[in-house]
Amino acid sequence: MIFTKDLEICKYILSASAEIGDYRKPPDSSGVMIKLARNSILMSEESQWKFHRSLLSPSFTGIQCNLMKPIINQCIDRQIANLLSLSKNDTVINVDIQKENTKLTFDIIGQLSIGYNFKSIEGQSEISNHFTFILNEMIKPIRRLSSWIPLPSDWLLFRYIREFDQITIMAINHRKQGTSSMYKSNFLLDSLISSKQSLNQDVIIGNINTFLLAGHETSSNLLTFVYYLLCKHQSIQEELYQQINVLQENSPLLDWVINETLRLYPPAPMVARSRHNKYDDILPGNIRISHDTLILISIYAIHRDTRHWGEDANQFNPYRWKDIPDASRLPYFLPFSQGSRICIGKQFTQIESKLIISKMLQTFHLQISKAEESKFKIYQRATLTIKNPIHLILNKRL
């Protein structure tokens, strides 16, 4: 096994052709993802990966992501209305911010991917909590034994996975009939149904489950980290609020804040690849590796390396982005990975988060108590997230 933050090795491994398959994702040792996202872009390699990528890419172009804005804004308005209703006549609201972000982003991805409103924001659905259960199961060490022995949590895990499959099957049937008022037009399922590839149901289910999972988890965590950092840096929050009032989501400082948050808390802090080719390979630095060698690339360490970011690499400083015209060209900024397998939802996540943060800051001034700040700890699940619930104080702006 190799654990590294070397940029040359990182570029070599992540830029290797996904079609040839010299370096692959390691097997899913928990057995959870292969059940939830089977026959999908997430679990495929080589020619199958290319097939899924070509199938899904048209749904996530810049043009398509911009067309998603009205639905995203409708969901944000629902969340803000719900938060304001919690306060009644008070001007201060105390909320579990990760929970609220998860409900919002799950409702957004539900409407965008299958045209269905889960109504998580209003507390009418527990589906997003079921996804949280699945994600927590995935990282339990005991899951590695699930191929040989039944585990106590299996019945609930399999029930929730069947539940998600059934939701997508219902959506497929309703959209094919075209008569349902529950499942409306959308950006992903309709595209898969109408594909010239004549897709089987398992391919559609696997890819829908993938985006229901990844499409809300990454965004929810990003929002939580942004809000936490803005609470700790009140002067930056105030400057951002002033900019947003004039420029809305087009504020330059908003871009810098999001980039800086992704730098400090990348969605995938560790990227794993294993050598699949049966022949040895020579990595940059004249490092020889053999078949099945596991390589762990620490994006988290790269993003905090003082050689790239300066002595304040561990500090939140969005102004470092002021003189960087194109963050995607930085070889040491890899929040969405690199190479051919770069995250397909990158543009969507950026557009969605800018819209949400803009409206939230226009409505509320965010604060955090010392007691809540002391609870802040991070850990890696499917993505980097917070370990404990964090309650923020939302002060209604007059």
Binding residues for heme: 343
DSSP letter string, 118-180: --TTTT---HHHHHHHHHHHHT-GGGGGTTTS--TTHHHHHHHHHHHHHHHHHHHHHHHHT--
Q: Give the integer Cα–Cα distance in Å for 383 and 222.
A: 10
Binding residues: 343
Bridge partners of residue 342, in order along the sequence: none
Quote the crossing angle between the two packed helices 234-247 and 252-264, to the nearest 10°: 140
Q: For the range 123-130, what are the long-range contacts, defined as Cβ-Cβ under 8 Å and sequence gap of 24 or more?
A: 127/163, 127/164, 127/167, 128/102, 128/103, 128/216, 130/160, 130/163, 130/164
Bridge partners of residue 3, in order along the sequence: 296
For residue 109, which of 62, 60, 178 has the smallest C-alpha distance?
Answer: 60
Tokens representing 159 are: 């029930």
Please name the residues in contact with 110: beta carbons below 8 A apart, sequence gap of 6 or more: 116, 117, 118, 120, 212
